[in-house]
């Protein structure tokens, strides 16, 4: 008691610090639950429902990514209801969105035994790619509406609020306001939405072009760690280099300064480093 709580996870007692989520507690007990929308540096959106667990006394299943552990809770991570919900969530998403660049969803589909065709044959989110700027592409046929991009653009990181969910039901979608192209929107191209997108629905233009030409090859990419040279904040950059060319810039999610977030200069202002016209 005091600053810790003890609960049972799949029959096994686990003691965690007060305020720990069920997801983290399950992790500690080595009974990890799958997640899709949850991200370590963002407020839980509670949207995907892949992480649900059964808590004794609760009428419905409970999203473990946001629910805080309480003393005496009895949690099941693999009951019949939990397994059914996980499988159906995977099946519904696979019937709607292109999961080809969504490793978490593909692994959920695999582990839950989902049948990708069960709810197929109806409406999908297939739609034209939005290629309206030089920095990143919106391929929303791949979107699973996890809300991560909205939160990164909003008060979890960027505070620009350039994108939000518009529409409702099956027609809900990520939008930069009135269906606008990004250059007409409030977007400042920090690329933080791209960094947190788990499905490739938001993807750097360089990566997109190389993938379209069949030239993207993960096995050839090396990462070089450096510090951004634009200002004095000290953001760590990981330069992803393929064939001696920078193809993507990220920052580690656990970096104390960036938490994985950058600005437009650090994220996309790298061409000068490999310019033919450089005079160094």
- Give the binding site for ligand SF4 (CB under 6 A): 143-149, 152-153, 158, 160, 162-163, 174, 187-193, 196-199, 201-202
Binding status of residue 1 toward other proteins by CB under 8 A: no
* Distance in Å, CB of 188 to ligand SF4, minimum: 5
CA distances from 49 to 38, 160, 257 (A): 10, 27, 31
> How far is 242 from 219, CA to CA, in rounded Å?
9
- The stretch among 116-124, 202-210, 212-220, 256-264 that binds other proteins (CB under 8 A) is 116-124
d(CA 240, CA 218) in angstroms, rounded, equals 10
Task: Give, in degrees to the nearest 5, the angle at Cα 135 between 134 and 138.
Answer: 100
| Partner whose binding site includes residue 123, from ligand FES, ligand SF4, other proteins, none (CB under 5 to 8 Å by kind) | other proteins
What is the layout of strands, in order, in the sheet containing 222-227? 222-227, 236-242, 245-250
Angle between helices 103-112 and 80-94 (to 10 degrees): 130
Query: For residues 140-199, which are near other proteins according to CB under 8 A?
Result: 144-145, 164-165, 167-172
Distance, in Å, from the CA atom of 258 to the CA atom of 130, rounded to the nearest integer, reads 28
Cβ pair 25, 7 in contact under 8 A? yes
Q: Which does 190 bind (CB under 5 to 8 A by kind): other proteins, ligand FES, ligand SF4, none?
A: ligand SF4
Residue among 164 and 239 whose Cβ is closer to other proteins: 164
Footprint of other proteins (CB under 8 A): 44, 46-50, 52, 60-61, 63, 66-67, 81, 84-85, 87-89, 92-93, 95-96, 118-119, 121-123, 144-145, 164-165, 167-172
Footprint of ligand FES (CB under 6 A): 35-38, 46-51, 63, 65
């Amino acid at each position: 008691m005091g600053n810790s709580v003890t609960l049972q996870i799949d029959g096994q007692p686990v003691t965690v610090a007060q305020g720990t989520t069920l997801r983290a507690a399950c992790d500690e007990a080595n009974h990890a639950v799958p997640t899709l929308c949850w991200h370590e540096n963002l407020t839980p959106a509670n949207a995907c429902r892949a992480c649900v667990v059964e808590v004794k006394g609760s009428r419905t299943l409970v999203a473990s990514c946001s629910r805080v552990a309480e003393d005496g809770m009895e949690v099941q991570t693999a009951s019949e209801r939990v397994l059914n919900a996980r499988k159906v969530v995977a099946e519904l998403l696979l019937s709607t969105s292109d999961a080809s660049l969504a490793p978490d969803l593909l692994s959920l589909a695999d582990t839950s035994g989902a049948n990708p065709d069960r709810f197929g044959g109806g409406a999908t989110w297939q739609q034209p790619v939005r290629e309206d700027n030089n920095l990143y592409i919106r391929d929303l046929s791949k979107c699973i509406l996890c809300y991560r991009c909205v939160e990164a653009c909003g008060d979890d990181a960027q505070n620009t609020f350039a994108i939000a969910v518009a529409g409702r039901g099956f027609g809900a979608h990520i939008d930069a306001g009135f269906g606008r192209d990004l250059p007409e929107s409030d977007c400042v191209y920090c690329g933080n939405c791209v960094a947190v997108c788990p499905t490739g629905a938001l993807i750097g233009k360089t990566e997109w072009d190389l993938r379209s030409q069949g030239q993207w090859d993960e096995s050839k990419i090396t990462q070089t760690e450096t510090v951004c040279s634009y200002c004095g904040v000290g953001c760590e950059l990981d330069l992803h280099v393929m064939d001696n060319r920078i193809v993507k810039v990220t920052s580690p999610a656990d970096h104390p300064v960036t938490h994985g977030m950058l600005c437009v200069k650090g994220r996309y202002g790298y061409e000068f480093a490999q310019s033919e016209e450089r005079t160094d």
